[in-house]
Amino acid sequence: MSAVDKTMTMREAIAAHVHDGDTVSLEGFTHLIPTAAGHEIIRQGRRDLTVIRMTADIVVDQMLAAGCVSKLVSSFVGNSSAGSLGELRRRVESARPAPLEFEEYSHYGMICRYIAGAQRLPFYPLRSYGGSDLPEVNSSLRKVTSPYPGPDGGTEQIYVVPPVNPDVTIVHAQRADRSGNTQIWGLTGVQAEAVYAARKAVVVVEEVVDGEVVRSDPNRTVVPAHAVNAVVECPRGAHPSFAQGYYDRDNAFYRSWSAISKDKERLTAWLAEWVHGTRDHAEYVAKLGEEFWDGLVVGEAMSLPVNYGRRL
């Protein structure tokens, strides 16, 4: 029933919902990484952010290099399988130009933190971490004794993680209606839980569509409007990652990032040219050029429609 129009520009959404010192979750597992939102955070010069992201990859390295981030919470710090993150390694290995507080989990530990945050639970149990050194460097990994007998009749212990409740979660999606009903297909990752865990949520989409499009397939809605505060239309905003059915992954850019980020000067120049040097993501897209985008075009593989039925 709600039909509040929550659309705004990326500039407006970041200005309204990301503040210095905030805890900001950016999710999207390989697919639909909210890069354009990260770039706008850089443009607006946010400082002292705690960034939460399962796979801290290129967009995190860029935000680190731009000086936005004082703390990182993550379960994988690397450039996919394509190499290293130069800035992250400098920050962690030699505190250059500043130390980075780092809270380390495993993937499922992060997922469970989001679930606990979304479900307002004080902790979430998982069968990870037994015997690992991770609890030694992360005091948030704790044990609980089950109140039920274990398989051998004795007591059973299990590790738990605490909830995470970001000030804001930003995700990228294929489409949403103006009130924020958000549809994702292909890999849906942990986006729904990351949104529900947050105090506020910004959804960036390839296209804003009519409510009728969303409502023709309500099972496709991964995040309902009541959990969304802002909807930003930003085509190609997930580059260099991909949007299933919209454009493919820019693997060449992933491969190039190790060399760019290894050299601080080159990295600074890259940011100056591609982020600070563009007014917004539309300019970044235009600067890459149509020929470039032609290389990432995907063909058609349409889902077969299903019948939701209509009372006669």
Partner 1 sequence: MTAAAATSSELLSVVAARELAARRTVFAGIGLPTLAASLAHLTVAPELEIVYESGVCGAHPSHLPETIADAVLITGAEAVLPMPTLFGSVLQGGHIDVGFLGAAQIDKWGNLNSSVIGDWHHPKARLPGSGGANEVMANAREVFVVMRRHDPRSFTERLDFCTSPGPDRALADGIRPLGAGVTRVITELGILAREGVGEELRLAAVHPGVSADDVRAATGWELKTADDLTVVEPPTEAELALLREDVDPERVYLR
Contacting positions for a copy of itself (CB under 8 A): 120-127, 140, 142-148, 150, 156, 158, 160, 162, 174, 183, 185-186, 188, 213, 216-217, 219-220, 244-246, 248, 297-312
Q: Is residue 308 a contact residue for partner 1 (CB under 8 A)?
A: yes
The residue from 53, 159, 230, 281 that contacts partner 1 (CB under 8 A) is 159
Residues 6+ apart with CB under 8 A from 59: 26, 33, 34, 35, 38, 39, 53
Which two tokens mark 114?
């989001």
* Reduced 3-state DSSP string for 165-209: CCCEEEEEEEEECCCCCEECCCCCCCHHHHHHHCCEEEEEEEEEC
Least CB distance from residue 255 to partner 1, whole Å?
10
Q: Which does 125 bind (CB under 5 to 8 A by kind): a copy of itself, partner 1, none?
A: a copy of itself
Amino acid letter at 119?
A: Q
- Residue 44 or 256: the one with the smaller Cβ distance to partner 1 is 256
- Residue 165 or 261: the one with the smaller Cβ distance to a copy of itself is 165
In 3D space, the residue among 60, 63, 62, 91 whose CA is nearest the CA of residue 74 turns out to be: 60
- 149: exposed, middle or buried (C-beta count within 10 Å: 0-12, 13-18, 19+)? exposed
Least CB distance from residue 41 to a copy of itself, whole Å?
28
Q: Is residue 174 a contact residue for partner 1 (CB under 8 A)?
A: no
In 3D space, the residue among 170, 139, 168 whose CA is nearest the CA of residue 33 turns out to be: 170
Length of the chain measured in residues: 312
- Give the integer Cα–Cα distance in Å for 178 and 227: 13
What x-and-dash track marks residues 220-239 binding partner 1 by CB under 8 A?
Answer: -x--xxxx------------
The residue from 23, 50, 75, 174 that contacts partner 1 (CB under 8 A) is 75
The residue from 18, 129, 271, 288 that contacts partner 1 (CB under 8 A) is 129
Q: Which does 148 bind (CB under 5 to 8 A by kind): a copy of itself, partner 1, none?
A: a copy of itself
- Residue 289 or 299: the one with the smaller Cβ distance to a copy of itself is 299
Least CB distance from residue 236 to partner 1, whole Å?
15
The residue from 144, 187, 259, 286 that contacts partner 1 (CB under 8 A) is 187
- Residue 4 or 265: the one with the smaller Cβ distance to partner 1 is 4
Q: Is residue 96 a contact residue for partner 1 (CB under 8 A)?
A: no
Q: Is residue 282 a contact residue for partner 1 (CB under 8 A)?
A: no
The residue from 38, 65, 68, 105 that contacts partner 1 (CB under 8 A) is 105
In 3D space, the residue among 103, 48, 97 whose CA is nearest the CA of residue 73 turns out to be: 103
Beta bridge partners of 23: 50
Whether 141 contacts 109, CB under 8 Å: yes
Least CB distance from residue 11 to partner 1, whole Å?
26
The residue from 294, 297, 304, 311 that contacts partner 1 (CB under 8 A) is 311
- Residue 45 or 218: the one with the smaller Cβ distance to partner 1 is 218
| C-alpha 67, offset from chain centre | 19
Q: Which DSSP category does 300 fall into?
A: -
Q: Is residue 215 a contact residue for partner 1 (CB under 8 A)?
A: yes
Of all helices (H) and strands (E), which one includes residue 93?
Answer: helix 86-94
In 3D space, the residue among 140, 22, 14 whose CA is nearest the CA of residue 71 turns out to be: 22
